[in-house]
Structure 1
């Protein structure tokens, strides 16, 4: 059998790229990573993703897939070892629900709270904390959303686990505090996991970039 072609066009600070990399590492799938320049995008990226013209793009043999959650499900169904989703239809449906909650509710409110217009930040902060309270309750004292091991929802929530603290430091504002003990514990377990560490960008580099783009006076100090 010929070797499979598995490629990922991504960007170093993209949490969506890192989601896919983490799933591939959990599965033990070898892949080629192509770092994209978002100012000067490669012809391959524009060819494979003509609709959005952005990262990320996942290629498996002749199959080209975009959108991180779709890619995660494809990976889980293609490589059966070390599953990231349950085989139970109800549990799979609930995982999709919570992953969509993270992407569609939590992340927009967190973005507005951390670097949105000042006139909207107070309201956005309240909304973000309400969403975090819902996630806090969903953890139910577990170390992961997947129960005993890292699963689909944990991977999708990587933005909350890593990038939120980066942006908090850049803009000098705290949202995910000890007010959310289960989420804080989950975050600590997540970023200290040996496999996950391999997929996280350098923290200081990430903070410097966030300060330059969104941050306080520290960006120019």
Structure 2
């Protein structure tokens, strides 16, 4: 977990994120992102995950975002039981896929952890357990705009009563040499039910 949260307003959100949240009928309660310059060695290690930064990145920004709104884990039961998780990634965990296929190609024994973490929802389960979240857990690979589709799904979950709050996390690993990994999380709630203040962990 990380720096203490500070207050912000919707004006602090990038226009594209604010517009996508508004279009989905959502208010942003908290926001957190990954800054490669903050930790040049990568995100903090996550027990049970190896050979890829995908799971640790998800957990890192998810923890920061939830901390910004709830403080320390777990979330209050009345909040946690109605919070869902949505992972958004166009390409998914390419590093784990590469590690598994590389072991197969070489005829060597792959770490059992690689098979566990090759299921995208594995890291969502870790975060859900840590924070006591009882809402739906969903992973999507959008063809269109990742934030627009992720927030639209969050809005549908709130609309049909599946969750009151939804943590939407966008994770993409760098594809080209020198391209940094990226990760950002938004905790959202249906606009009609949202409080007036927001938290942020940049």
Range class of TM-score, shorter chain: under 0.3
| Structure with more of its chain in strand, by fraction | 2
TM-score (norm 1): 0.25
Computing the radius of gyration from Cα coordinates, the structure with the larger value is: 1
TM-score (norm 2): 0.26
| Structure with more of its chain in helix, by fraction | 1
